[in-house]
Structure formats: C-alpha cells, structure tokens
C-alpha cells in the first residue's frame, strides 16, 4: 500500500477517535486497530513498537481512571471520601470521575494503536520521503539513526557482559558509568567511521545555496502573516479574515521551502505505485467520516458520565460505519495470501 | 593509471611525517597489496587515493597524486567517488539504510542519476557480487562477509575504475573472508578492476597479488615491486614464505602448490618433529565441564560437553562459525546458564555464583576488547578492575608495574587506551582481566585484526603464563596460532566435541585445519617453521 494512503487512514482514524468519548465506540475502534496492527506486521519493516496496544490499554486505563478519581471531585455517586486536609487529593471520590478517567485512558489507547499501525506498516524510509526536499540531510540523518538502533542495542549487551567479566556489579547509580561510557565512545567512533564512508561515496554537502533575499524576506514575511492571522482570529474575533491571512502566510513559507529545495539534487530509487487497494482504503475512510459527521449529529457521538453515571448509548449506524477502518487489514491479508500461493504450472489445473 | 610523485604527508599537529617521498606508478588492472606493520600508515596511504586525505583527515600533504587522470586533492572526495570506490574495515559501521537494495541505491540517489539508470546499475552490481538472493534482506540479519560484499557493491554502483579496500577481511571469520576475496579476485580477473588492498593476513591474499607496496616501520623508503622481491626484504611473512627464506627457496613460493615443488625435494618421509616430553596432566584440573547442555530458547547450542583443562596447559578450541564456541566460554564464567550439566572452577561448582566472583578466578577476554575499555589511562583501567573486586593497589595480587612490564605497556601507562593500536588495546584488556591473578584465562578469537609482530608477542605472553602454571582455553579460527602454542586441541561441531588430542594428530591430517607447514610436509606431524628446521638437521645427520 502506498504510504500516502496510510497517512490518510491515520488522519481519519485520529479524527474519528477524537470525536467521541463513548466507551463503546472507542472499544470497537480499539479492536479494529489491533486487528489491523496484527494484519500489517511485516518482517521487512523494522520499527518495533515498545508495547502492544492491548498491554498499553491494560496499563493506562486503570492508571488514568484512578488518577482522575482522586484529583477531580465532581459527580453525584460518591464512593468514599479522602480527608479534606490533603491538598489536591482531598475530597469525595466519585464513580463519575472514575469513569471519565477510564474513558480518557481508552481514548489514549485508541490513538496509540492507530500510530502503532502506521509505525508497523510504513518503513522509516517511506515516511521520511515526505520530508520536504529542502531538508534532505535531515531525512538522511533520521534514516541513519534508525539503522543504528539494532547495532546500539547489541552493543549494550556486549558492554554489559564485558564489564561483568571485570568484576562490575550494578550496585549504585555510579555503576552506570562503565556501561554508558564505552557505549558513547563507541557510538562516536562509529559515527565518525560512517561519516568517512559517506564522504567516500559522494555524500558531501553541496555548496550552500546563496542566501538570496527571497528566502530571508519570505520566511520573515510568512511568519508575520501567520502571527497576524492568529491575532485577527483570537483578539479581534475576525475568523474569516484571520484564516485568510494565516493561509497566505502558510503559502509564502511553503514557497520559500520549495525554492530552497530546488538546490538539492537527488533522485529516488523506489517508487510506490498507487493502486486500486489504496482507493479502497481511502473510500472506506471517507465513508466512515461522512457517516460520523454528516449523517449523525454531535449528540449521537457525545457521552459524559457527569453528573450521574449511566450506561452509554450504542447507535448501530455509527458502530457499523467504524468498520470502514478495517479495510487495510483485508488488503494486507489478501496480499499475504497471494504471495504464498503456489504457482500453477502450465497445463495443470489448480488444486 | 595511478601515480604518486614525491608524496609526503603528516597528520595535523604531528611533527614527523607518516611517510615521505613516496613514488609509485600502478598500471591499470593490477591487484596491489599494501603491507606493513600495524599503525605504520597503510590506511593513510590508501586514503590518498580518493582524497579522504587531506579533505577528511586534515594535515599537510605535499607532492603530486594522479588517479585515473584526476588529482584527488583538487577534485575532492565527492568527484573522486565516481572513480575510486572505498571499502572500510568494520562491516558494522558502513551502512546508512536498513535494506540491501536501498543501501546500494543510496550513492546513486545522491549522484542524482535517473531512475532507469539506477535500476540497471543496482541489478548489475547485485549479480557481480552474488547478492541477488539477499536483495530484500535487512542488513542487520546478514553475516560479516555478506555485509562486506554489500559494502563493495555500494562502492561499485558508481562504476569506479579503482577499488580501494582497507583491511576488509580482518574482522571476518575464514569462510566469510574467503567469500569476499573470491569476489574481489573475480572482479579483478574478469572485469579488469584495479584493486588496492591493505591486509595483514597475507596467507589468504598472496596467491592473487600482482604487486606489493611495503611501508616500513621507521619511516624509510616505501617499496613497490613484485611480491617475491618485496617479501625477501620484510619480516612479516606467512609461514610458507618464512620457510622459503630460511631454506633459500627461489623464487619465493606464494602458494602451497608452489611450495610443494620445493618441499618434495626434501626427505619428507624421514622428518619427525623433535619430541617434546609429553606433559602428564595430573592433579586437579583448573576448570572442568561435565555433561554441559546449553540452549537459547528452544534451539540447542551445546549438547553434552565433557572436558577439563589443567594448570600449565593451553587448550585450543576450533570449529566453524556458529558451532557454540563463544557460548561455551560464556557458560564457563556464568554469563550463560546451562540447562544441564556442571561447570567447576578450581573444584567448585559455579552455579549460582555471580559472574564477577567467577571472573576473579578465571579471566575472560571477549572478542571485542573495546567493550571493556573506558578509562582515561591504561593504568586507570587496571585500577578499575581492582576496585570492582574490592581490592586496592597496595594489596593487589600482582604489582601493577610488573603486570604492565609483562604486557610490554610500561611506556603507555598514561596513554588513552582507545588511541592505541589494535594489539596494544588487546593487551590493555588482557591486563584488565589479569589484574586479579586468575588461575585460568579464556580467550575468544585473540588474533583477530593483529599483524604478525603482535601475534608473536601474544604467543610469547601465553607461553610465559602457561609455564607459570596458568590454564588457558583459546577459541580461535587461526590454525597458525593453534600450531604455535596449543598443547591440546578440541574440534567443536554442532555443539559437540568431534575430535580431541594432540595438535599434530588433530590438525596435521585435517584438510580444513592444517597449518601451512603441515600442508607442505604432510603426515610428518610438523606444524610450525620452528619445528621444521631442527627436524631437517636431524634428518640430514641421520
């Protein structure tokens, strides 16, 4: 799948998730995203997520619920009371606050799962291709950093063993130094070696593009315009004019960046093709968003436990529409099945 | 094709030049080896070919250099990258991308080649180096040899006329090194690519070299000529050549085949090594292993090992890569816990002991000594180990000055360890683990990256400690090392010991593990040059 399609999917997922606190819809979304995570795991993309989304949820929901319960003291159903003299935490602990905290945690888990999908589905190389041309060296640096992660992890293990062999025990904070120093020095040495390799392969900075007047004036003008637009919106309440000025400022900055990018010469080897599958995913996201925002009103998505906690409402249409986010899983599984299919020899019937 | 005229270079801030008045003229299509002791300036000379010296390193360069019609100093490395490909020593630190194909395309993307052209070049380079089956793989899953081939491929993607390599096989095991050398010789023979390579382990490469550049130790004149001529002048030579020089064989043989023509004329049948009194290893073994089984997860690595090593004995452990040799060493000090079996050190079972306590009695030198070193001076490294074990300089088991003298590091006591040469760093690491006067020493691939001089020093150190009663277990691929110092040899394969005994028996007849001398004089039990000469004398007298 094309990375742009994934970005579009992520944008839709974030918008949909942030639009509701109804725990039933959020749970459905979480299950869908976890399914997509498992479907898109690919052995060729190295970006490990530190923790699986389900585990993250199991951790964050209770924590968030408890924290909210002891810090917010509104709601009708009081469970018990903490003594009043404790600052910030003192006061009644209510079921409503507990539920609100839980739904906040659930929302975080859903967002985490959505980003995990992107992390696993799109390789770093594809992601950084979206960085503007002008910042190509930044893109290369990020690529190198990611390449170095597995090497660094292996180094940590080697250093721990080497220090253990000379009697090192982890007793106090100072004992981190023998682990940290060789890692740092080794990392610097490797960085220097890599710099030499890259120089030998022709990656030297081009002559710095002349700082022509357009770049400098343009950047400043663009920033001023954006600021002015923001002020217009907020201080003077002129929403329309404010937006126009902000848009103008963004255009100017975009123009400057594009101009700077013209000096950077490089070509790209891999080309991602936009296929029917990408259209399918886009359509799914579009349909979901249309149903969520056009065909249901705000109230249908709204849920709050305050003032008295009650069971949330589940509207079937919305629940069904959320399934639109599952299309990438179908696409991924189908692609996998095609890749393992036994090729049919000529003259034979497929078994 | 490549000319050097009166080239002199000194590092920034240095008073003496690295080399002076170098004059070379290398024709196109040659396979040139650059040899010389460690630290003498081979890498520096190689970096002159593509402008890394002086553009990346700084310093003062005088004289004229021409490579493929260009002056590297004027053209800068960016332009030279299309004429000279450069491959470095460490396969781990040469890659920008994480996939093989992307890595090869990186240099091409930088040169802003059109996409069609890039695809053609990537395919061609994948075929040249047999990398096509690996093209989708992530670089970190490749072996060292495969990584070096990818590095060569990335350099060749720009279609340079010259390929320069700085000790490309020194970090590799013999099989990987052979694969890389095989690719290089094919590139030179079939494509006519000019190759300039620095290398310590001349045994592997000499048969393919067309000419040699020798950089002497004391800043003397840099020599260039045919291998047989140059080798006659230098001391750092493989056993075959050393034997040839000692026995006056001319022209000096560079391959075993050439050497056999000379050795056949000698009375091989009556040659026997001078019998060393066979040491009786009585008494309690220093450390021993019974029924050792180790597995990583569900994958078994060691299956039921039994052996013992006695004080005053050097035991060598050889075997292919991945057979569990390093795992065995780690389980001897407790870094890896066995599933079954016992490890005893000085009679005591080490199960449940902390690694730090075990290492007070067994010193362990890991494959990469750099992971050990982090102090500001060599002396501090020794003090740190003492402190870790709760000792002070006053009650140290060995006086630190004596230890430094034994290691030959007295004048480097205040030097920064990571500035030293490979051999010196290894000796500092040895000092750091020997400071508690352990009764045994475990070494993992100690000769990797060492030149012949440093290897000799290591041999002498080990023999000296063995004679003082230490038990040594060596894990190595280097059969010359085993031939020089080992009292007993074990061959490990798929986690089991498949052969053990006297080095002459185990190595002498094995087609894979026989040292050069054994291949010249088969079935005689001779393993080193030092054994051949006395044996010949005895045979002549008889």
- Say whether both B32 and B91 belong to one domain: yes
Q: Which helix (H) or strand (E) holds B440?
A: strand B440-444
| Residue showing tokens 């003298």 | B405
CATH code (residue B292): 3.40.50.300
Contacts of A169 in chain B (CB under 8 A): 354, 356, 388
Per-residue model confidence (pLDDT) at position A347: 57
Under an 8 A CB cutoff, do B388 and A143 touch?
Answer: no
Residue A148 is assigned to a structural domain of this protein: no
Per-residue model confidence (pLDDT) at position B443: 93
> What is the average pLDDT across A134-148?
79
Kindly report each contact of residues A58-66 with a partner whose C-beta sits within 8 Å and lies 24 or more positions away, as own/partner. A60/A105, A60/A108, A60/A109, A60/A112, A61/A102, A61/A105, A61/A106, A61/A109, A62/A102, A62/A105, A63/A105, A64/A101, A64/A102, A64/A104, A64/A105, A64/A108, A65/A98, A65/A99, A65/A101, A65/A102, A65/A105, A66/A98, A66/A101
Under an 8 A CB cutoff, do B105 and A269 touch?
Answer: yes
Query: Which of B510, B488, B494, B482 shows the shortest CA–CA distance to B305?
Result: B494
Per-residue model confidence (pLDDT) at position B529: 86
Under an 8 A CB cutoff, do A168 and B366 touch?
Answer: no
Under an 8 A CB cutoff, do A165 and B333 touch?
Answer: yes
Per-residue model confidence (pLDDT) at position B322: 74
B90: closest chain A residue by CA: A193
Q: Which domain holds residue A242?
A: 213-261
Lowest mean pLDDT among A22-26, A135-139, A253-257, B518-522: A135-139
Q: Which of A128, A162, A163, A186 to mutate to test the interface with B (most CBs of B within 10 A)?
A: A162
Per-residue model confidence (pLDDT) at position A207: 55
- Say whether both B213 and B307 belong to one domain: no
- Say whether both B201 and B304 belong to one domain: no
Residue-wise pLDDT for A89-104, tens only, equals: 777 888 888 888 899 9
Residue A76 is assigned to a structural domain of this protein: yes
Cα distance from A113 to chain B (closest Cα, Å)? 25
- Say whether both B144 and B29 belong to one domain: yes
Confidence of residue A48 (pLDDT cuts 50, 70, 90): low
- Say whether both A328 and A257 belong to one domain: no
A191: closest chain B residue by CA: B93
> What is the average pLDDT across A54-61?
87
Under an 8 A CB cutoff, do A202 and B92 touch?
Answer: no
Per-residue model confidence (pLDDT) at position A46: 55
Contacts of A204 in chain B (CB under 8 A): 76-78
- Say whether both A14 and A124 belong to one domain: yes
A202: closest chain B residue by CA: B78
Per-residue model confidence (pLDDT) at position B542: 66
Contact B102, B66 (CB under 8 A): no
Q: Which of A133, A269, A270, A271 to mutate to test the interface with B (most CBs of B within 10 A)?
A: A269
- Say whether both B304 and B428 belong to one domain: yes
Residue-wise pLDDT for A269-304, tens only, equals: 877 788 888 898 899 999 988 888 887 777 777 888
Torsion of CA B136, B140, B144, B150, to 10 degrees: 40
Residue A199 is assigned to a structural domain of this protein: no
- Judged by a CB distance cut-off of 8 A, whether residue A169 touches chain B is yes
Confidence of residue A85 (pLDDT cuts 50, 70, 90): confident
How would you write the pLDDT of chain B (542 residues) with one tens digit per residue? 899 999 999 988 888 888 888 999 999 999 999 998 887 888 899 999 999 988 888 889 999 999 999 999 998 888 898 999 999 988 888 888 878 998 898 888 888 889 999 999 999 999 999 999 998 888 888 888 899 999 999 999 999 999 999 999 888 888 888 889 999 999 999 989 999 999 888 888 888 899 999 998 877 888 999 998 888 888 878 888 888 888 888 888 888 899 989 888 887 777 777 666 666 666 788 888 888 888 887 788 888 889 889 888 899 999 887 778 888 999 998 888 888 888 988 888 888 888 888 888 899 998 888 888 888 899 988 888 888 888 888 878 888 888 888 888 888 888 888 888 888 888 899 988 888 888 899 999 998 888 888 888 888 999 999 888 889 999 998 888 888 889 999 998 888 888 888 888 888 777 778 888 888 888 888 888 888 888 888 777 76
Q: How many domains does chain B contain in total? A: 2
Residue A146 is assigned to a structural domain of this protein: no
Chain A, 16 to 55: residues with Cβ < 8 Å from chain B are: 44, 46
Which of A261, A288, A319 corresponds to the end of one domain? Answer: A261
- Say whether both B224 and B321 belong to one domain: no
Per-residue model confidence (pLDDT) at position A239: 78
Contact B507, B489 (CB under 8 A): yes
Contacts of A190 in chain B (CB under 8 A): 90, 92-93
What percentage of chain A exceeds 90 in pLDDT?
7
Q: What does B384-403 look like in DSSP terms, one character per residue?
A: HHHHHTT--STT-SS-HHHH
- Say whether both A11 and A119 belong to one domain: yes
Q: Which of A143, A150, A182 faces B140 most closely, judged by CB atoms?
A: A150
> What is the average pLDDT across A192-199?
90
Contacts of B430 in chain A (CB under 8 A): none
- Say whether both A118 and A220 belong to one domain: no
Chain A, 253 to 282: residues with Cβ < 8 Å from chain B are: 265-271
Residue B147 is assigned to a structural domain of this protein: yes
Per-residue model confidence (pLDDT) at position B144: 84
Q: Which helix (H) or strand (E) holds B151?
A: helix B144-156
Contacts of A166 in chain B (CB under 8 A): 359, 372, 384-385, 388, 432-433
Under an 8 A CB cutoff, do A147 and B112 touch?
Answer: no
Integer Cα distance of A302 and B419 in angstroms: 66
Q: Which domain holds residue B462?
A: 287-501
Cα distance from A38 to chain B (closest Cα, Å)? 21
- The encoded tokens of residue B195 equal 């190759």
Burial B528-541 (b: 16+ CB within 10 A, else e): bbbbbeebbeebee
Integer Cα distance of B217 and B221 in angstroms: 10
- Say whether both A245 and A324 belong to one domain: no
Lowest mean pLDDT among A33-42, A130-139, B517-526: A130-139
Integer Cα distance of A21 and A302 in angstroms: 6
Q: How many domains does chain A contain in total? A: 2
Confidence of residue A123 (pLDDT cuts 50, 70, 90): confident
A156: closest chain B residue by CA: B371
The yes-or-no verdict on residue A351 having pLDDT over 60 is: no
| C-alpha B137: how far from chain center | 27
Per-residue model confidence (pLDDT) at position B166: 93
- Say whether both B13 and B103 belong to one domain: yes
- Say whether both B73 and B215 belong to one domain: yes
Contact B373, B428 (CB under 8 A): yes
Contacts of B115 in chain A (CB under 8 A): 267-269, 271
Residue B341 is assigned to a structural domain of this protein: yes
Contacts of B106 in chain A (CB under 8 A): 201, 203
Cα distance from A142 to chain B (closest Cα, Å)? 10
Under an 8 A CB cutoff, do A164 and B55 touch?
Answer: no
Under an 8 A CB cutoff, do B55 and A199 touch?
Answer: yes
Cα distance from A168 to chain B (closest Cα, Å)? 6
- Say whether both B218 and B294 belong to one domain: no
Cα distance from B79 to chain A (closest Cα, Å)? 7
- Cβ-proximal residues to B4 (8 Å cutoff; 6+ apart), any chain: B22, B23, B24, B25, B48, B63, B64, B65
Residue A125 is assigned to a structural domain of this protein: yes
3-state percent helix, strand, coil for chain B, nearest multiple of 5: 40, 20, 40
Query: 3-class DSSP state for residue A190?
Result: helix
- Say whether both B488 and B376 belong to one domain: yes
The yes-or-no verdict on residue A330 having pLDDT over 70 is: yes
Contacts of A271 in chain B (CB under 8 A): 115
Q: Which of B81, B119, B364 faces A165 most closely, judged by CB atoms?
A: B364
Query: 3-class DSSP state for residue B444?
Result: strand
Under an 8 A CB cutoff, do B335 and A140 touch?
Answer: no
Start-to-end Cα distance in chain A:
29
Integer Cα distance of B501 and B70 in angstroms: 58
Contacts of B122 in chain A (CB under 8 A): 269
CA angle, corner A332, sides to A327 and A337, nearest 5? 125
- Say whether both A37 and A59 belong to one domain: yes
- Say whether both B124 and B192 belong to one domain: yes
Residue B390 is assigned to a structural domain of this protein: yes
Residue A103 is assigned to a structural domain of this protein: yes
């Amino acid at each position: 799948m094309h990375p742009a399609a994934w970005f579009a999917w992520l944008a839709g997922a974030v918008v949909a998730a942030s639009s509701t606190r109804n725990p039933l819809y959020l749970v459905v979304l979480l299950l869908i995203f976890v399914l997509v995570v498992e479907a898109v795991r690919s052995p060729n993309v190295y970006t490990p997520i530190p923790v699986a989304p389900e585990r993250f949820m199991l951790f964050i929901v209770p924590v968030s619920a408890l924290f909210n319960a002891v810090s917010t003291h509104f709601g009708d159903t009081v469970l018990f009371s903490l003594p009043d003299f404790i600052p910030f935490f003192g006061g009644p602990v209510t079921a409503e606050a507990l539920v609100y905290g839980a739904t906040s945690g659930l929302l975080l888990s859903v967002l985490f799962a959505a980003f995990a999908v992107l992390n696993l589905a799109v390789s770093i190389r594809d992601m950084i291709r979206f960085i503007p041309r002008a910042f190509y060296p930044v893109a290369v640096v990020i690529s190198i950093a990611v390449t170095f992660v597995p090497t660094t992890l292996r180094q940590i293990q080697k250093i721990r063993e080497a220090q253990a062999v000379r009697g090192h025990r982890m007793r106090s904070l100072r004992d981190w130094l023998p682990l940290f120093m060789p890692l740092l020095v080794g990392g610097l040495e490797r960085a220097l070696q890599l710099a030499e390799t890259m120089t030998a392969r022709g990656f030297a900075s081009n002559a710095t593009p002349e700082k022509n007047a357009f770049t400098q004036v343009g950047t400043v003008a663009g920033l001023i315009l954006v600021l002015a637009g923001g002020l217009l919106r907020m201080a003077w309440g002129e929403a329309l004019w404010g937006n126009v000025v902000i848009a103008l400022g963004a255009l100017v900055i975009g123009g400057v960046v594009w101009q700077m990018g013209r000096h950077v010469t490089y070509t790209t080897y891999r080309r991602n093709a936009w296929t029917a599958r990408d259209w399918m995913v886009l359509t799914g996201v579009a349909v979901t968003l249309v149903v969520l925002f056009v065909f249901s009103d705000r109230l249908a998505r709204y849920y709050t436990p305050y003032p008295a906690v009650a069971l949330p409402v589940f509207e079937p249409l919305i629940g069904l529409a959320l399934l639109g986010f599952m299309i990438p899983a179908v696409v991924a599984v189908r692609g996998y099945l095609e890749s393992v299919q036994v090729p049919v020899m000529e003259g034979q019937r497929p078994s | 094709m490549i000319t050097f005229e009166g080239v002199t270079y000194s590092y920034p801030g240095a008073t003496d030049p690295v080399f002076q008045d170098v004059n070379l003229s290398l024709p196109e299509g040659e396979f040139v080896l650059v040899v010389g002791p460690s630290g003498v300036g081979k890498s520096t000379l190689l970096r002159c070919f593509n402008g890394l010296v002086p553009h990346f390193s700084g310093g003062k360069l005088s004289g004229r250099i021409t490579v493929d019609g260009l002056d590297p100093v004027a053209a800068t490395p960016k332009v030279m990258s299309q004429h000279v490909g450069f491959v470095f020593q460490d396969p781990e630190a040469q890659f920008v991308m994480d996939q093989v194909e992307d890595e090869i395309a990186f240099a091409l993307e930088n040169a802003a080649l059109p996409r069609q052209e890039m695809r053609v070049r990537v395919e061609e380079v994948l075929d040249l180096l047999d990398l096509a089956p690996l093209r989708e793989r992530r670089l970190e899953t490749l072996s060292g040899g495969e990584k070096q081939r990818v590095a060569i491929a990335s350099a060749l993607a720009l279609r340079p006329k010259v390929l320069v390599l700085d000790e490309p096989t020194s970090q590799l095991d013999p099989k990987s090194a052979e694969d890389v050398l095989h690719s290089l010789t094919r590139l030179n023979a079939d494509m006519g690519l000019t190759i300039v390579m620095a290398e310590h382990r001349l045994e592997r490469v000499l048969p393919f070299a067309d000419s040699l550049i020798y950089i002497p130790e004391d800043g003397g004149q840099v020599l260039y000529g045919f291998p047989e001529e140059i080798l006659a002048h230098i001391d750092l030579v493989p056993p075959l050549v050393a034997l040839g020089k000692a026995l006056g064989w001319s022209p000096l043989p560079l391959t075993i085949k050439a050497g056999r023509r000379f050795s056949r004329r000698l009375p091989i049948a009556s040659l026997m090594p001078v019998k060393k009194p066979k040491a009786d290893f009585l008494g309690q073994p220093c450390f021993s292993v019974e029924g050792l089984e180790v597995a990583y997860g569900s994958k078994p690595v060691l299956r039921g090992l039994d052996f013992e090593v006695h004080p005053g004995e050097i035991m060598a452990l050889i075997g292919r890569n991945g057979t569990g040799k390093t795992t065995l060493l780690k389980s001897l000090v407790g870094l890896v816990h066995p599933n079954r079996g016992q490890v005893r050190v000085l009679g005591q079972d080490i199960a449940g002991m902390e690694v730090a306590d075990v290492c007070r009695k067994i010193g362990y030198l890991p494959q990469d000594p750099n992971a050990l070193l982090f102090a500001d001076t060599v002396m501090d490294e020794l003090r740190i180990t003492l402190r870790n074990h709760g000792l002070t300089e006053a009650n140290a088991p060995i006086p630190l000055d004596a230890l430094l003298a034994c290691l030959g590091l007295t004048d480097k006591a205040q030097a920064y360890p990571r500035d030293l040469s490979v051999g010196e760093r290894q000796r500092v690491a040895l000092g750091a683990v020997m400071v508690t006067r352990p009764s045994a020493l475990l070494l993992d691939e100690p000769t990797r990256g060492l030149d012949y001089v440093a290897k000799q020093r290591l041999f002498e150190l080990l023999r000296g400690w063995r004679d003082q009663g230490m038990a040594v277990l060596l894990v190595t691929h280097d059969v010359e090392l085993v031939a020089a110092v080992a009292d007993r040899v074990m061959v490990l394969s798929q986690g089991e010991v498949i052969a053990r005994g006297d080095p002459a028996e185990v190595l002498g007849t094995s087609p894979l593990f026989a040292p050069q001398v054994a291949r010249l004089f088969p079935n005689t039990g001779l393993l080193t040059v030092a054994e051949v000469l006395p044996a010949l004398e005895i045979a002549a007298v008889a």
